[in-house]
Amino acid sequence: MTIKEAAVKALHERAVYLVLDWSFLGTWKGVETKDTSSEVRSRKRTVKSDSLKKMSQLRYKIRTMLRHNSLNSLFRPGVYCIPLENIEPVNAVLMEATTELAEIRQQLKDEWPLVIADAQERLGKFFDPRDYDHPDHAAKELKLEFRYVPIAHTPHVLKGVAAEVYQADLERSKSQAENELEAFRAHLREALLEVIQNMRKTLTKPDGEKRVFGQRFFKRLDEFLNTFSTLNLSDDGEMAAVVDQLRKVADGSDPDALKTSDANQLALDKELETISVSLEAMVEEGRAFNL
């Protein structure tokens, strides 16, 4: 598996890094017990709050958005690769999330006296007022910060200041871009394989177990097919061929017929099995290359 030179050179022109930093309020804390064994750990839930439920929902919404619009980066956790075509929808969700976060913070401050009263009742002798900071401080624990930075880009200012440093960093940037593209390629291959495997699990359920078909059955496959061309930053021709094949399979499948016809279910599973075998070989090729 090789990455085309053109894809390496164009990466910084086709995508950017999204650096996303989250911070949450800790809601669990250890509890001392009489058992001193290192194998025993007890915890108490110090905070229960409707605002924190909303925070979890907000986090899920952002993660879902990123699953559709980004690729995980090797750079570090919390860094995502966003194709430039997806910047506007990604930024729209993040800006909306920033507004929601301000509302959640305020709700947490308003709920704080009730949070403490609830904890006193729930925890009994394990309640400790020292676990509860000032509501303003608790609200500040909820954070969402983000920024965009270029991928594999060497600052041009270095060229006139330190030519050798500039050239060395160009080489490092190229190597980084190649590694990232390999990771993006593996990401997409493994993601599609998981989608197909999940579809086959439904198709091959034992007789008597419920098999759910309809639009939901094809939902994740449709999402992948619709976003592939944008996310295919490594210009993976093998995957493009698989995607074209899957589009034909999806277009030729009737959800209503799948509900009632065992023959149709079997035929679809056979097609997906053939594709799955090819895709598994591609995934293994990528893993061997990375090793």
pLDDT at 288: 55
Q: Are the C-beta atoms of 6 and 235 separated by less than 8 Å?
A: yes
The separation between CA 55 and the C-alpha centre of its own chain, rounded to angstroms, equals: 17
In 3-state terms the chain splits into helix, strand, coil percentages (rounded to 5) of 65, 10, 20
Q: Output 167-174 pairs: Cβ under 8 A, ≥24 positions apart.
A: 174/8
Check if the beta carbon of residue 73 is closer than 8 Å to that of residue 81: yes
Instruction: Give me the residue spans of the domains in the chain.
Output: 5-150, 157-290
For residue 161, the model assigns a pLDDT of 67
What is the distance between the alpha carbons of residues 143 and 149, in angstroms, rounded to a whole number? 20
pLDDT of 168 reads: 77
**Which residue type, as a one-letter code, is found at position 74?**
L
Tell me the CA distances in angstroms from 139 to 23, 37, 97, 129, one per residue in order: 11, 36, 15, 17
Question: Averaged in consecutive runs of 10 residues, what is the pLDDT profile of the chain (291 residues)?
Answer: 78 90 88 59 87 95 94 84 95 96 97 95 91 94 93 65 72 82 92 94 81 79 94 95 94 83 90 94 73 43
Phi-psi map region of 231: left, alpha, beta (phi>0 left; psi -120 to 50 alpha): alpha
Cβ proximity of 61 and 22 under 8 Å: no
